[in-house]
């Protein structure tokens, strides 16, 4: 099974720039050891089980809570598919099979 989780999480009570907080969230994800990719709008991680992906999201929130964030907003998208692996690379590749090279 392949669980892809695309997540963005940030405080909404701390002014216009969020990169300081977002960076701490990304650090949690990087330290989790799961394959991941940072994009300009979210971080995508791939796990074998939904519970593993959720545990990472939970830890990300706890970091923001510790940083005195009073209000946190998060959007998570899951694409869960049985009998598949390595979709962090594979999904983009299968689009390229249809239409050739894309920016990635």
Q: How far is the CB of 36 from a copy of itself (least distance, A)?
A: 6
d(CA 25, CA 30): 9
Number of Cβ within a 10 Å radius of residue 45: 22
24 CB-side CA count, 13 A: 16
- The answer to whether 63 and 24 have CB atoms below 8 angstroms apart is yes
Minimum CB–partner distance for residue 47 and a copy of itself (Å): 13
Parallel/antiparallel/unpaired status of strands 2-11 and 43-47: antiparallel
Rule CB under 8 A: which residues touch a copy of itself? 4, 6, 8-10, 12-13, 15-16, 18-20, 22-24, 26-27, 30, 35-42, 44, 50-51, 54, 57-58, 61, 70-83, 87-92, 94-95, 97-99, 102-104
Nearer to a copy of itself, 48 or 90 (CB): 90
Q: Cβ–Cβ contacts within 10 Å for residue 44, how many?
A: 19
Shortest distance in whole angstroms from residue 85 CB to a copy of itself: 13
Q: Smallest distance, Å, CB 48 to a copy of itself?
A: 14
Nearer Cβ to a copy of itself (15/48): 15
């Amino acid at each position: 099974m392949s669980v892809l989780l695309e997540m963005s999480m940030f405080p909404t009570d701390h002014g216009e720039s969020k990169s300081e907080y977002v960076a701490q969230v990304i650090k949690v994800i990087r330290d989790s050891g799961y394959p991941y990719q940072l994009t300009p709008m979210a971080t995508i991680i791939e796990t074998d089980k939904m519970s593993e992906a959720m545990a990472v999201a939970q830890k990300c929130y706890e970091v923001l809570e510790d940083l005195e964030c009073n209000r946190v907003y998060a959007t998570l998208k899951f694409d869960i598919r049985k009998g598949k692996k390595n979709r962090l690379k594979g999904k983009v590749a299968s689009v390229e099979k249809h239409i050739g090279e894309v920016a990635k």
